[in-house]
Structure 1
Amino acid sequence: MGTMNISLPDQLKRYVDEQVAARSYGTSSEYIRELIRRDRDREALRALLLDGAASEAGTPVDAAYFESLRRQARRSAE
């Protein structure tokens, strides 16, 4: 695992320390890793949403669509 040192203003360091204590993280590194993972996940979700918005329209989702799904589920359960 690589090492990275960061400098924070006192106010942000206090905040990180408070979050570590309040949320039962073992270390500030665990807290920062969690923030980075969440940011990475948010970026991935954003990319998926943008891809979806840029794609062509699909089949309309209406009452008939959901009824066809119910029929398929009933057939699968038999």
Structure 2
Amino acid sequence: MTRQSITLANQNDEWLKQQVANEEFTSKSEAVNYLIKKARERQEYDDFVQMKIDRGIKSGFSTKTKEELLVEIKKRLNV
């Protein structure tokens, strides 16, 4: 692993210390790595959702009625 030196706001440092004291993590480094991992996962999810939104917008508006859409969805699901 790469060793880093970072500066934390006092409240963030106290929070990290409390997490270690409560045995949520074994060290502040473990807690920071966990938080970064969660932020990366969240970013991947946000990117995925944005891609779906963009695809929907690009496809345009449907001219089908709700009933027609429901029939089409049921056909796709083999219901």
TM-score calculated relative to the size of structure 1: 0.69
SS of residue matched to 2:7:
coil
RMSD (CA atoms): 2.4
- Corresponding residue number in structure 1 for 2:5: 5
Matched, 1:64 2:74: yes
Matches within 5 A, 1:1-78: 1-55=1-55, 56=59, 60=69, 64-65=74-75, 68=78
Post-superposition, which runs of at least 4 consecutive aligned residues in structure 1 deviate over 3 A?
A: 60-63
CA distance change for structure 1 residues 4 and 39 in 2, over 3 Å: closer, same or farther?
Answer: same
CA distance change for structure 1 residues 25 and 61 in 2, over 3 Å: closer, same or farther?
Answer: farther
What per-residue deviation string (whole Å, max 9, x for no partner) do you get for residues 8-63 of structure 1?
A: 23222111111222253110000000000000000000100000011137xx5667
Identity %: 19
Gaps of 5+ in 2: 61-68
Gaps of 5+ in 1: 71-78
